[in-house]
């Protein structure tokens, strides 16, 4: 892949969380409860189009839109920076989610460490994190296959762990290699579908910006420009400029890549 001036070392999971918090705060400040609703819709829009990209790649390859395919078609892996800091995602598969009506043969993932949560906590933005985490993965999965149900009944932003629950049958879970416990294996993601966090940060930024502009017009643009200003102040002018360069990227296409 050609570099062409890219600055991938700037962008990572926590920068994406930073952008998310900025949009939550800016939209809420400017538009109150309507801004919070716009933030939720922006999160859903971003997640759904990402899920559809995954589904497009799967369909092109002749694969069924199953949980197993979903796990393999994910678009990111933890960055080296986040791994070095010891805050890479830590998750395990479990057979039950206490206090929730989820049990075998559902797919249940328990997350105890997450770099997005670490950034939300650092910024004192657990409220934004709770709302984001409630919607992002279910939206992603809905974009991939709206038939199956994906739930996140709790997250680290308000509890000691996250639970990710996919409502599926025993046959589907066995296909995914998730049972029994001694046979569980982490899903190996297809390298061809992976995207850098520069791409994902740009996808997030433009997902929220376009949602804000559609709802609030010029005022939505102004709020989005404030987010961009804060990105530049925190991570450098070049980072903000890189996000702007993705303004014409079609994030709905599975062939879109870093520019």
CA distance 30 to 220: 9
Q: What is the pLDDT of residue 3?
A: 41
CA distance 151 to 166: 6
CA distance 208 to 41: 8
In this model, does residue 2 exceed pLDDT 60?
A: no
Domain covering 29-195 assigned CATH 3.30.1380 in the classification? yes
Domain spans in the chain, listed from the N-terminal domain onward: 29-195
Pairing of strands 103-113, 162-167: antiparallel
pLDDT digits (tens, 9 = 90+) for 79-92: 999 999 999 999 99
Q: What SS3 class is residue 119? A: helix
pLDDT digits (tens, 9 = 90+) for 92-117: 988 888 888 876 668 899 999 999 99
Task: Read off the DSSP letter of residue 153.
Answer: E
pTM (two decimals):
0.91
Q: Do the Cβ atoms of 202 and 242 come closer than 8 Å?
A: yes
Q: What is the pLDDT of residue 242?
A: 97
13-22 average pLDDT score: 98
Q: What is the pLDDT of residue 99?
A: 83
161-167 average pLDDT score: 93
pLDDT band for position 12 (50/70/90)?
very high
In this model, does residue 1 exceed pLDDT 50?
A: no
pLDDT digits (tens, 9 = 90+) for 111-159: 999 999 999 999 999 999 999 999 999 999 999 999 888 999 999 999 9
User: Tokens 């949980």 — which residue?
Assistant: 67
């Amino acid at each position: 892949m050609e570099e062409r001036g890219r600055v991938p070392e700037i962008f990572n999971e926590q920068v994406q969380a930073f952008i998310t918090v900025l949009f939550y705060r800016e939209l809420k400040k400017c538009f109150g409860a309507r801004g919070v609703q716009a933030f939720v819709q922006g999160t859903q829009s971003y997640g759904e189009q990402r899920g559809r990209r995954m589904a497009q790649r799967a369909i092109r390859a002749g694969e069924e839109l199953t949980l197993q395919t979903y796990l393999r078609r994910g678009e990111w892996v933890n960055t080296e920076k986040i791994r070095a800091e010891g805050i890479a995602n830590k998750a395990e598969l479990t057979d039950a989610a206490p206090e929730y009506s989820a049990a075998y043969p559902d797919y249940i993932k328990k997350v105890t460490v997450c770099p997005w949560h670490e950034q939300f906590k650092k910024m004192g933005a657990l409220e934004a994190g709770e709302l984001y985490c409630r919607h992002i993965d279910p939206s992603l999965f809905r974009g991939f296959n709206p038939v199956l149900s994906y739930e996140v009944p709790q997250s680290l932003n308000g509890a000691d762990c996250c639970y990710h629950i996919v409502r599926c049958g025993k046959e589907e879970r066995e296909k995914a290699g998730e049972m029994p416990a001694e046979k569980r294996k982490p899903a190996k993601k297809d390298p061809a579908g992976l995207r850098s966090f520069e791409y994902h940060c740009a996808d997030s930024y433009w997902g929220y910006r376009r949602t804000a502009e559609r709802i609030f017009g010029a005022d939505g643009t102004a709020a989005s420009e404030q987010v961009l200003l804060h990105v530049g102040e925190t991570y450098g002018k070049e980072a903000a400029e890189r996000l702007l360069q993705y303004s014409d990227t079609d994030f709905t296409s599975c062939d879109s890549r870093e520019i």
